[in-house]
A = this chain, B = another copy of it.
Amino acid sequence: MRYALYYWSGIQGRGEFIRLALEDAGADYDDVARDQGDDAMTPFLEGKHEGALPFAPPFLKAGRLVIAQVAEILQYLGPPLKLVPDGDSRRLYAHQLQLTITDVVAEIHDSHHPIASSLYYEDQRSEARRRAKDLRENRLPKFLGYFEQVLERNGGRHALRQHSYVDLSLFQLMSGLDYAFPRAMQRLKRELPLLCALSQRVTERPRIAAYLASPRRLAFNKDGIFRHYPELDDPR
C-alpha cells in the first residue's frame, strides 16, 4: 500500500507524528502538500471527495479511505506498519496514550495562542505569559509525569510491550518541548529519566536517524505547535 499524507507543507506540526511512524516503518508514502502545494488539500476539506470529510489536516489517504485525526491515523497505521503490539487491550491502551498526547499537544499550542488561533501571538502575549506559566508549572509536570509513570509500570523501555507509534510520538513531544521551553525542560527532565532515555533511543533507530538528518525533517519554527518565545520559558 502506498499512502498519501496531507499536511501543511511549511511546518512539522501535527503531521509530524504521522510522518515519524511512516519513516520509522520504511513505508511507501507521498507527502502530498510538500510535493504539490497546500492547495492539494482543498478539495478534501471542501467535501469534494466521497467518503469521510476531514475537519482539518493532517489526513491520510489509504486506497479509497480518507482518515483524519492524528491518533486515529496512527491507530489505523499501527498494525500494517507493525508499530503496535498484538492484542485488543494493548491496542486500546496505545490509542488511549496517543489521545493523551493529543491533549497535551493542544495545551502546548494554546500556551502561545490562549485567546485565538486567528490572532497573532503579539496580540495575546500577556495572556500567553500567564498560560505558559501554568503549562510549565502545572500541566507539563502532570502530563510528563504521567508518561514517565506509564514507562515505569512497563519496565522502563517502552510505553507498551514493544516499540510502537506511542514511543515515536513521545520522542516528538519531548523534542518539541526541548525546542520551545529549553529552560523549563532542563528543570523538568531531572524527574523524567525514562522519557529522556526513550527519546534518545528513538533518535538512534536507523530509519529515524536517517530521517532526522534528511531535508524531509523540517526545523522547528514559529509557525508550528512547538514555538520558542524566550519570555514564555522559565525565567533565567
Contacts and interface: CB of A to CB of B under 8 A. Distances in A.
Interface of A: 47, 51-55, 64-65, 67-69, 71-72, 76, 89, 92-93, 95-96, 99-100, 103, 106, 110, 114-116, 118-119, 124, 127, 130-131, 134, 138, 143, 146, 149-150, 153
A116 B96 contact: no
Contact of A138 (B64, B65, B116, B138): B116
A130 B130 contact: no
Q: Which 10 A-B pairs have the closest CB atoms?
A: A116-B134, A69-B99, A52-B93, A55-B100, A115-B130, A114-B114, A127-B127, A68-B96, A115-B131, A69-B96
A103 B14 CA distance: 14
Interface of A (DSSP majority class): helix
A81 to B, nearest CB: 16
Contacts of A67: 92, 96
Contacts of A138: 116, 118
B114 A115 contact: yes
Given A67-B92, A67-B96, A76-B92, 6 more contacts: A53-B149, A55-B143, A64-B89, A115-B134, A127-B127, A127-B130
Given A134-B115, A138-B118, A153-B47, A72 B52 contact: no
